[in-house]
């Protein structure tokens, strides 16, 4: 008997769904595990909607599901390795039941059919643009084909997969895609390869999705894209924010992520003009050294960055800034990393997401790593740990300053750590665990009684009195 593993490349493409197998999904189960950023979270929900509409139901685990789908991240080595080890765990046992194993997302897009060769029991590889074709691809995979669909759709015919508002019913906050791809060429970054060229979602589509979510009870939307500042879907990003803030029922608006290079004065002004635009801004700086920033091809200097920070703080006093830092970029000296730490102390970030440099195949930093000077792994980790200690202290100081104050919290649900508490977020996006009786989606004042670096704790005003 031939098994899917016996098929050799070249692999089939997705253009001709097998007519005979039209209903082969009905009654089968699926499970999706998601790695990576909000783009992947959003995509996983769209894939789940497509599969559900095709008659499939959810299983509790990848192991139990007829379709085990892993939505992957390629941004650093660690998350890519996790995928390979997960695929190892899901290797079918001889005589076991036949199921479909699929890889989507950025590792899929980056490795393409090489993944099918590397993992003989893998049935399907699909890139982000293939999401609308998912049900057809899965049908064919269940029929025994091994498929790879990682073609980018022509920008003129690409349609953003819209969200079903029923998926977000009962939630306080929801993601809304405003663009895909990235045209920047940061030297370390694989994203432009995995997500392709920038394409903005038309403003009318974004607004109708936000309205539908508001009608389903959502109070906060987070506009997402890899580089939202260069949004170009019929108006500027600042104008889009203004329009989203006007949607009835929406109380809070956030966005992520943006490159400081593209941060214009109109977006700064939006923080002054739009009270519903929450006072938190993720503005990844990556390094506090001009030489390293130039090598990274970030397109700004430390002075440029600091002047944008000053403008933002003037526009919205108290705005909570967060950032991303890479430790041990090729050629970075210990003194240059000290400049990064000094910048972090100067800006006083609410939170810092820091990573050791990870060479990604095909990027210029990976190609030039030896020439520019590879930083030994232990040294990268030493720098990272030093930065993380500084970041923790600053973050804790911000949190402790809230003790004794009342903060406005959007209630998101029951606390994950204590079932008798609720949890939600402050305008600055800090998590608050609190005693209270509010419903999901309500915005309530909470008196803060204690703080840790990760969360605030307190009680809803008037609760228990
Ligand atoms: N579009 C976002 C970045 C998305 S990737 C932006 O430009 O802000 C998220 C973060 O991962 C980056 O900000 C960077 O700090 C980190 N990162 C990306 N590539 C990396 C690499 N090769 N090694 C280590 N960290 C990396
Ligand atoms: Fe990557 Fe730079 Fe684009 Fe961000 S802006 S996704 S770091 S290339
Ligand atoms: Fe990862 Fe792809 Fe997002 S590489 S960070 S999942 S765009």
The Å distance, Cα 187 to ligand 2 centre, comes to 9
Q: Is the CB of 360 under 6 A from ligand 1?
A: yes
Cβ–Cβ under 8 Å, residues 87 and 120: no
Model pLDDT, residue 98: 75
Q: Is the pLDDT of residue 305 over 60?
A: yes
Model pLDDT, residue 453: 86
The Å distance, Cα 309 to ligand 1 centre, comes to 20
Tokens of 337: 């990393």
- pLDDT over 90 percentage in the chain: 87
Q: Which CATH number fits domain 162-278: 3.40.50.300, 3.40.1800.10, 3.30.420.40, 3.30.750.210?
A: 3.30.750.210
For 127-177, write each residue's pLDDT tens digit. 999 999 999 999 999 999 999 999 999 988 899 999 999 999 999 999 999
Q: Is the CB of 182 under 6 A from ligand 2?
A: yes
Q: For a pocket test of ligand 2, which of 36, 73, 185, 191 has the largest count of ligand atoms closer than 8 A to its C-beta?
A: 191
CB count within 10 Å of CB 450 equals 12
For residues 35-60, give the mean pLDDT.
96
Q: Which CATH architecture has domain 283-400?
A: 2-Layer Sandwich (3.30)
Q: Is the CB of 184 under 6 A from ligand 2?
A: yes
Q: Is the pLDDT of residue 55 over 70?
A: yes
Q: Is the CB of 181 under 6 A from ligand 3?
A: no
Integer-rounded Cα Rg, in Å, for the chain is 23
The closest ligand to the CA of 73 turns out to be: 3
Q: Label residue 18 by pLDDT band (50, 70, 90).
A: very low
Model pLDDT, residue 462: 85
The Å distance, Cα 186 to ligand 2 centre, comes to 6
Q: Is the CB of 73 under 6 A from ligand 3?
A: yes
Q: Given the CA of residue 79, which atom of ligand 3 is nearest to it? A: 1
The reply to whether 4-149 and 162-278 are identical in fold is: no
Q: Label residue 419 by pLDDT band (50, 70, 90).
A: confident
The closest ligand to the CA of 76 turns out to be: 1
Model pLDDT, residue 82: 87
Q: Which CATH number fits domain 4-149: 3.40.50.12160, 3.40.50.720, 3.40.190.10, 1.10.10.60?
A: 3.40.50.12160
Tell me, yes or no, if the pTM score tops 0.75.
Answer: yes
Q: Label residue 99 by pLDDT band (50, 70, 90).
A: confident
- Residue listed under structure tokens 């999706």: 32
For residues 371-386, give the mean pLDDT.
98
Nearest protein CA to atom 11 of ligand 1, as residue: 75
CATH 2.40.50.140 fits 406-460, yes or no: yes
Q: Is the CB of 194 under 6 A from ligand 3?
A: yes
Pairing between strand 443-451 and 455-460?
A: antiparallel
For residues 106-135, give the mean pLDDT.
95
For the chain, give every domain's residue range. Answer: 4-149, 162-278, 283-400, 406-460
């Amino acid at each position: 008997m031939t098994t899917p593993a016996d098929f050799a490349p070249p692999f089939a493409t997705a253009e001709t769904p097998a007519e005979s197998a039209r209903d082969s999904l009905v009654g089968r189960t699926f499970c999706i595990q998601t790695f990576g950023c909000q783009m992947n979270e959003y995509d996983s929900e769209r894939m789940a909607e497509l599969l559900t509409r095709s008659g499939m139901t959810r299983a509790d685990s990848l192991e139990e599901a007829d379709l085990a789908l892993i939505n992957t991240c390629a941004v650093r080595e660690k998350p890519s390795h996790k995928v390979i080890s997960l695929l190892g765990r899901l290797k079918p046992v001889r005589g076991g039941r036949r199921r479909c194993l699929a890889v989507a997302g950025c590792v899929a897009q980056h490795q393409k059919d090489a993944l099918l060769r590397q993992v003989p029991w893998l049935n399907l590889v699909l890139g982000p643009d293939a999401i609308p074709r998912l049900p057809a691809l899965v049908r064919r995979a269940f029929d025994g084909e091994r498929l790879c669909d990682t073609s980018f759709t022509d920008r003129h015919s690409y349609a953003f997969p819209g969200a079903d508002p029923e998926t977000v019913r009962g939630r306080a906050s929801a993601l809304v895609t405003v663009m895909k791809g990235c045209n920047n060429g940061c030297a370390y970054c694989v994203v432009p390869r995995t997500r392709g060229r920038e394409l903005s979602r038309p403003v009318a589509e974004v607004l109708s999705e936000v309205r539908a979510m508001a009608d389903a009870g959502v109070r906060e939307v987070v506009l997402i894209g890899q580089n939202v500042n260069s949004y170009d879907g019929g108006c500027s990003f600042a104008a889009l924010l203004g329009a989203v803030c006007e949607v009835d029922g929406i109380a809070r608006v956030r966005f992520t992520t943006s490159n400081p290079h593209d941060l214009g004065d109109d977006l700064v002004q939006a923080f002054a003009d739009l009270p519903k635009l929450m006072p938190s801004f993720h503005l990844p700086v990556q390094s506090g050294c001009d030489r390293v920033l130039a090598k990274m091809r970030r397109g700004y200097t430390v002075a440029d960055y600091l002047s944008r920070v000053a403008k933002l703080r003037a526009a919205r006093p108290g705005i909570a800034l967060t950032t991303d830092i890479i430790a041990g970029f090729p050629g970075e000296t210990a003194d240059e990393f000290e400049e990064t730490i000094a910048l972090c102390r100067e800006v006083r970030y609410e939170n810092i997401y820091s990573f050791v440099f990870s060479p990604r195949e095909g990027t210029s930093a990976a190609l030039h790593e030896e020439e520019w000077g590879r930083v030994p792994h232990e040294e990268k980790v030493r720098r990272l740990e030093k930065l993380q200690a500084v970041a923790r202290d600053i973050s804790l100081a911000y949190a402790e300053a809230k003790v004794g104050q009342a903060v406005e919290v959007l209630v998101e649900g029951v606390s994950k750590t204590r079932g008798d508490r609720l949890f939600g977020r402050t305008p600055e996006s800090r998590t608050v665990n609190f005693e209270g009786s509010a419903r999901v989606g309500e915005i309530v004042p909470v008196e803060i009684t204690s703080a840790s670096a990760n969360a605030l704790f307190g009680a809803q005003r008037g609760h228990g009195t």
